[in-house]
């Protein structure tokens, strides 16, 4: 059995429910939270999941910073949620409903920078992939259906996480090494934004085989800390489904976290 001191501590970025004076509960209060499924995914092999709250805001107190969390934790998971704001990659929203959450963008971009300074690995899920691309200088399609009308339906509000399509995994990538028996895999699809211009220093590891949408990326510079992300939600995988198994993705990320911990303790 894994001892308490030996368990990896994995940070999960917070989702924001901003203060709303019309809300009947927590009136006027900002809520920060994580989805249960992503926390359970991180914990599924014994790691401890820790939500990282934003230390800034109207009620800020004390001297805690994101660097403190990055130094204490072993890795970071960026999970899904609100749209990335077009303002975060130098564009104006094509429609008001695609304005996104720039406050969360700024918090997560700062969070990624803190973990990079600490040399700790980062893994992005859905919005997390998009945020990482933007954090390192890439851009997004604000709405796939509007800007690429011939593309697949990547988000269906009715079926939600039961909306699926297939992706091609690039054999010469790390993802290809993790799934050596797969060249094409079935994934869930719950997004309406997608990578347009890939950030410098990253490579594409999987694409939607029907429309070419980027589905997995990884930082290509082996001399820098681990950063990888997928557009689908591995935490939604069920053992009885025919979607790509999430286990190899999680194991690869946690191995990087364990290596980072070892480097930190021996340096």
| Three-state secondary structure of the chain | CCCHHHCCEEEEECEEECCCCCCCCCCCCCEEECCHHHHHHHHCCCCEEEEECCCCCCCCCCCCCHHHHHHHCCEEEECCCCCCCHHHHCCCCCCHHHCCCHHHHHHHHHHHHHHHHCCCCEEEECHHHHHHHHHCCCCEECCHHHHCCCCCCCCCCCCHHHCEEEEEECCCCHHHHHCCCCCEEEEECCCCCEECCCCCCEEEEEEECCCCCEEEEEECCCCCCCEEEECCCHHHCCCCCCCCCCHHHHHHHHHHHHHHHHHHHHC
Give mean pLDDT, residues 240-263. 95
Q: Report which of 34, 120, 117, 106 is spatially closest to residue 73, judged by C-alpha positions.
A: 120
Question: How long is the chain?
Answer: 267
Give mean pLDDT, residues 50-69. 91
Known catalytic membership, residue 192: no
Q: What was the pLDDT predicted at 1? A: 42
Average pLDDT, the chain: 94
Predicted structure pTM score:
0.95
Q: Which of 108, 116, 215, 235 is catalytic?
A: 235
- What separation, in Å, do the N-terminal and C-terminal C-alpha atoms of the chain show? 27
Domain ranges within the chain, ordered by starting residue: 4-266
Known catalytic membership, residue 15: no
* pLDDT exceeds cutoff 80 at 99: yes
pLDDT band (50, 70, 90) for residue 82: very high
**Cα three-residue angle 194-121-138, rounded to 5 degrees:** 30
Q: Which of 126, 165, 191, 237 is catalytic?
A: 126
* pLDDT exceeds cutoff 60 at 230: yes
Q: What was the pLDDT predicted at 264? A: 78
* pLDDT exceeds cutoff 60 at 10: yes
pLDDT-wise least confident of 40-44, 150-154, 242-246: 150-154
Fold classified for 4-266: Rossmann fold (3.40.50)
Tell me the per-residue pLDDT of 176-228, one tens digit each, with 9 for 90 and over.
999 999 999 999 999 999 999 999 999 999 999 999 999 999 999 878 999 99
Known catalytic membership, residue 235: yes
**Cα three-residue angle 249-113-71, rounded to 5 degrees:** 80
Q: Which of 165, 191, 233, 237 is catalytic?
A: 233
């Amino acid at each position: 059995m894994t001892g308490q001191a030996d368990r990896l501590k994995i940070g999960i970025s917070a989702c924001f429910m901003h203060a709303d004076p019309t809300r009947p509960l927590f009136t006027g209060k900002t809520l920060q939270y994580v989805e249960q499924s992503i926390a359970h995914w991180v914990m599924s092999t014994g790691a401890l999941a820790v939500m990282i709250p934003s230390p800034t805001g109207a009620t800020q107190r004390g001297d805690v910073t994101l660097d403190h969390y990055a130094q204490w934790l072993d890795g970071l998971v960026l999970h899904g949620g609100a749209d990335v704001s077009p303002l975060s990659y130098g564009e104006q929203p094509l429609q008001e409903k695609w304005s996104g959450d720039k406050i969360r963008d700024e918090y997560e971009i700062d969070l990624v920078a803190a973990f990079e300074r600490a040399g700790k690995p980062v893994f992005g899920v859905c919005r997390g992939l998009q945020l990482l691309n933007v954090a390192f200088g890439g851009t997004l399609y604000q709405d796939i259906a509007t800007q690429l009308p011939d593309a697949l339906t990547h988000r269906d509000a009715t079926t939600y996480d039961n909306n699926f399509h297939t992706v091609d995994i690039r054999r010469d990538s790390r993802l290809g090494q993790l799934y050596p028996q797969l060249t094409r895999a079935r994934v869930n699809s719950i997004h309406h934004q997608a990578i347009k211009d890939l950030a410098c220093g990253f490579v594409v590891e999987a694409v939607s085989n029907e429309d070419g949408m980027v589905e997995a990326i990884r930082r290509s510079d082996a001399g820098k800390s681990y950063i990888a992300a997928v557009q689908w939600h591995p935490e939604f995988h069920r053992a009885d489904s025919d979607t790509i198994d999430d286990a190899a993705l999680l194991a690869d990320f946690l191995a990087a976290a364990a290596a980072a911990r070892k480097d930190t303790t021996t340096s």
